[in-house]
């Protein structure tokens, strides 16, 4: 099956349709920037262009911001209303370029080498004060007690957020 990336106008039209349907059911949509180059709208500028017109807030994921090589100053240009959720995840970056990172490299905040505080500081500067969730995919967490991993994720996220100046 060949997938053709839609144009910005096509994507905006489809997203407006989805927003209308979602709102009729009391659901608010968010759009996550997926920074892998094989995904449609894989840069912050592209994702923002698609969602801004449809009035859909972005999910800013620290991993995907890093993979897409988003400059923190680009994030600082967003309004707080343009952000609906922040996914906080780090990645094992040793001997890997951003293009080589995969979901399986994602670890708890502070365990990897992504510039988390740089991204979190600029997100905070936009005025965003909404939810932040930890998102990891490294296989090692499947072997551990989920309650212990959740507790560790909470403490690590709190530490990184505080270091970045977030009111925790």
CATH number, residue 129: 3.20.20.150
Does residue 1 belong to any structural domain of this protein? no
Does residue 26 belong to any structural domain of this protein? yes
31: helix, strand or coil:
strand
Supply the DSSP symbol for 160. Answer: H
Query: Which helix (H) or strand (E) element contains residue 83?
Result: strand 83-88
Q: What are the helix (H) ranges across the chain?
A: 8-24, 44-54, 62-67, 72-76, 116-125, 146-163
91: helix, strand or coil:
strand
Q: What tens digit of pLDDT does each residue of 43-97 get?
A: 999 999 989 888 899 999 999 999 999 999 999 999 999 999 999 999 999 999 9
Does residue 32 belong to any structural domain of this protein? yes
Does residue 2 belong to any structural domain of this protein? no
Does residue 127 belong to any structural domain of this protein? yes
Q: What mean pLDDT do residues 116-137 have?
A: 96
pLDDT of residue 12: 87
68: helix, strand or coil:
coil
pTM of the model: 0.90
Q: What mean pLDDT do residues 124-136 have?
A: 96
Does residue 83 belong to any structural domain of this protein? yes
Average the pLDDT over each of 46-55, 104-113, 115-124, 152-161 and give the range with the smallest value: 46-55
Q: What mean pLDDT do residues 115-143 have?
A: 96
How many domains, the chain? 1
Q: What mean pLDDT do residues 114-118 have?
A: 96
pLDDT of residue 1: 44
């Amino acid at each position: 099956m060949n997938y053709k990336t839609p144009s910005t106008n096509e994507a905006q039209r489809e997203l407006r349709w989805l927003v209308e349907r979602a709102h009729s059911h009391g659901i608010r949509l968010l759009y996550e920037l997926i920074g892998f180059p094989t995904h449609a709208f894989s840069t912050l500028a592209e994702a923002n262009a698609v969602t801004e017109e449809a009035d859909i807030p972005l999910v800013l994921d620290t991993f995907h911001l890093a993979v897409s090589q988003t400059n923190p100053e680009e994030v600082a240009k967003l309004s707080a209303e343009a952000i609906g959720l922040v996914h906080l995840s780090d990645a094992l970056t040793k001997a890997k370029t951003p293009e080589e990172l995969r979901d399986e490299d994602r670890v708890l905040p502070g365990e990897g080498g992504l510039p988390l505080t740089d991204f979190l500081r600029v997100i905070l500067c936009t005025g965003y004060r909404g939810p932040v969730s930890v998102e990891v995919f490294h296989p090692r967490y499947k072997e551990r007690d989920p309650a212990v991993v959740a507790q560790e994720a909470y403490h690590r996220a709190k530490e990184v957020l505080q270091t970045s100046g977030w009111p925790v």
